[in-house]
Amino acid sequence: MADRNPRLVRMQVNGQPREGMAEPRLNLADFLRGELKLTGTHVGCEHGVCGACTVLVDGLSARSCLMLAVQADGCCVGTVEGLAPSEEALGPLQQAFHELHALQCGYCTPGILMSLTELLDSNPDPDEEQVRDVLSGHLCRCTGYQNIVAAALRAARVMREARQPGEGGRHAC
C-alpha cells in the first residue's frame, strides 16, 4: 500500500523560507502550484519533455513535474515569480522578452525563462548556439524561437553591462 502520510517540506523559494505539507508522491510542480500558490510554474506534458515546468533547484534547472516535493526538502528553489526585482519592474531577461516579443501564448515562457536564467548565471556571454542548445529542451508551439534567442542574447548583454566585477549569478544558492 502506498504511503499517503503527508510530510512537512521546507525549502527556500525565491529567497524566502517556505513550507507546506506534501504526500510523498506529490510532484514539486503541484506542490508549488497547490500548496505554495506559486502558479507561474506550468505543467504541460507531465513527462519532462516539454520544459514548461522547469524551475531552478539549488541553482540548476529541474523538471518539477518529475521531481517529488519531498526531494526538494531543504533545497533552494527558484521559480519565475522570483525573476523580477519587484512587482513594478521586470528582470533583464523578462524585459528583453517583452521588448523583442519573445512570447506569444506564454505557456512555455516560465520554463524557458528559468532555463535561460541558469545559462546566463553560469555563462554571462553565451553565443547563439549555446542559447539554442538550452532551448532544445523546450517545446513552444507558438514561436519560431528566433525572438527568444534574440531576447536571451540582449539580456546577457544588459546583465554583463550591469554586473560588478567579481559578481556571480544572482540565482544560484
- The pLDDT value given to residue 50: 95
Place domain 92-163 in its CATH homologous superfamily.
[2Fe-2S]-binding domain (1.10.150.120)
Interatomic CA distance for residues 87 and 103, integer angstroms: 20
- The pLDDT value given to residue 2: 64
pLDDT digits (tens, 9 = 90+) for 78-91: 999 999 999 999 99
Place domain 7-82 in its CATH homologous superfamily.
Beta-grasp domain (3.10.20.30)
The DSSP string of 153-168 is HHHHHHHHHHPPTT--
Residue 115 near residue 134, CB atoms below 8 Å: yes
Q: What strands lie across the sheet with 54-57, from one edge to the other?
A: 16-22, 7-13, 76-78, 54-57, 60-63
Grid coordinates given for 110: 516560465
Which distant-in-sequence residues (6+ apart) come within 8 Å of 129 by Cβ? none
Give the global pTM.
Answer: 0.92
| Mean pLDDT for the chain overall | 93
pLDDT digits (tens, 9 = 90+) for 27-42: 999 999 999 999 999 9
Grid coordinates given for 75: 533545497
For the chain, domain boundaries: 7-82, 92-163
Q: Among 173, 137, 135, 138, which residue's Cα sits nearest to residue 57?
A: 173
- The pLDDT value given to residue 163: 81
Interatomic CA distance for residues 59 and 171, integer angstroms: 6
Neighbour-count burial for 140-156, b at 16+ CB within 10 Å, e otherwise: beebebebbbbbbbbbb
Residue 106 near residue 39, CB atoms below 8 Å: no
Interatomic CA distance for residues 149 and 155, integer angstroms: 10
